[in-house]
Amino acid sequence: MIRDGRGRTRTYAAGALALLAFATACGESGGGGSAAPATRSTGAAAPKPTEAAPTSAAPTTAAPAGGADPAAWAKWNLTPLAPAPAPPADKPIKLERTGPVPVFSEVKTNDKVVFITIDDGAEKDPKFVEMLTDLKVPISMFLTRDIVRNDYAYFKPLQALGNHIQNHTVDHPVMSKIPAEKQKSEICDAQSALTQQYGTAPLLFRPPFGDGASTSTLNTSVQQCGPRAMVLWRESMQIHDMQYQAGDKKLKPGDIILAHFRGPSELKGATMTQMFGDLLARIQEQGFSVARLEDYIQAPAS
C-alpha cells in the first residue's frame, strides 16, 4: 500500500476526474478541456528502475536538479524524472536593460525540457515545501502580493531551494481594464514588496489571465517597474491533467507550464502535492524533464 506524504493512502480515483474546464485564477487562453487524459494508476504501479529514461542522453555535466533520490520520489508515489541537461551557456532568451520587454510563452530549445511556473500563492501547504525539498524539481513562482502577504515566509524555503520569485501584481486585476497609472502601481508595488521580502528584484512579470500582454500600455507599465520580460504559458495544469494550447495536446521542448498554488477547495478535494505529483507524471510520461526557466534566460548586464 502506498501512502502519500500526509501518511494517508492515496485513494483518489483517476478515472473520475479528468476533463474539467476548470476556471483558473490565471485563466486560460485556449478553449476546451483536454481529451482522453492518460490516467495514472496511483496505487498499483510497480516501481520502475530508476535509471530508466530511454529518452535522450543528457549531458552528464552538472545536472542542475542534482541526482535524484529514488527513495525521496517513492515517498510521493513517483519515480524520478530524467535529469535535465545542463542549461545552455548561450541563453535562448536575452533580456535588455531598457526598451520594450519581450513577451514569451515558450523557450526556443531543442532540449527535451519544460518549465513549471506556479502562480498566485493562495495555498500554502507545508507538505508542498516538503515535497519540493525531497524532489528538487525547479519551479518559478509568480506571486500576487495581496495573496501572499499574510504569509510571505511560506515561500522562503521554496526560494532557498534555488527557485525564483517573480511578479504577478498586487491584487490580480484584469490589466487591460485599468488605466496605465493603476497598472503601474499594481506592478511597481508588488515589485517593491517582493523585493523587500525576498531580497531580490523579480526579473519577470506575468499579467493575471495573460491579459494585456500584447498592449503597448502594459509593456510600458512593466518597463517602469523593473521586470524585463512578460511570461505567458503554453499549458495549464488543472487537477490531474493539463490543458494544451496546441491541438495535438502534447508537450513541446521549451514549453512553459502554468500551475497554481491551490488546495482541496479549488482542486475538488485533491491536494497541492497530488496536483503537483500528477503534473510530474504527465511530464514524465511524455519523456520530458523539468528545467529552471531562469537558467534559460540571460538577465541584463548590471
Interface contacts to Zn ion, rule CB under 5 A: 25-26, 119-120, 208
119 vs 266, beta carbon nearer Zn ion = 119
23 vs 57, beta carbon nearer Zn ion = 23
**Nearest-5° Cα angle at 165, 291 to 27:** 80
User: Smallest distance, Å, CB 206 to Zn ion?
Assistant: 7
78 vs 218, beta carbon nearer Zn ion = 218
User: Smallest distance, Å, CB 121 to Zn ion?
Assistant: 9
Cell 502554468 appears where? Answer: 258
User: Smallest distance, Å, CB 260 to Zn ion?
Assistant: 7
User: Smallest distance, Å, CB 141 to Zn ion?
Assistant: 11
- 3-class DSSP string for 83-108: CCCCCCCCCCEECCCCCCCCEECECC
Distance CA 40, CA 240 (A): 9
Q: 124-161 b/e with 16+ CB inside 10 Å = b?
A: bbebbbbbbebbbbbbbbbbbbebbeeebebbeebeee
- What single string gives the DSSP state of each residue in 7-31? SSB----GGGT-------TT--SS-
CA of residue 146 relative to chain centroid, distance: 19
**Nearest-5° Cα angle at 25, 255 to 103:** 40
User: Smallest distance, Å, CB 236 to Zn ion?
Assistant: 11
Residue nearest to Zn ion (CB): 26
25 vs 178, beta carbon nearer Zn ion = 25
Distance CA 190, CA 121 (A): 13
Measured CA to CA in angstroms, residue 196 lies from 152, 204, 284, 300 at distances of 11, 16, 36, 21
User: Smallest distance, Å, CB 60 to Zn ion?
Assistant: 38
120 vs 255, beta carbon nearer Zn ion = 120
Contact 195, 202 (CB under 8 A): yes
DSSP state of 183: H
80 vs 210, beta carbon nearer Zn ion = 210
28 vs 241, beta carbon nearer Zn ion = 28
User: Smallest distance, Å, CB 150 to Zn ion?
Assistant: 17
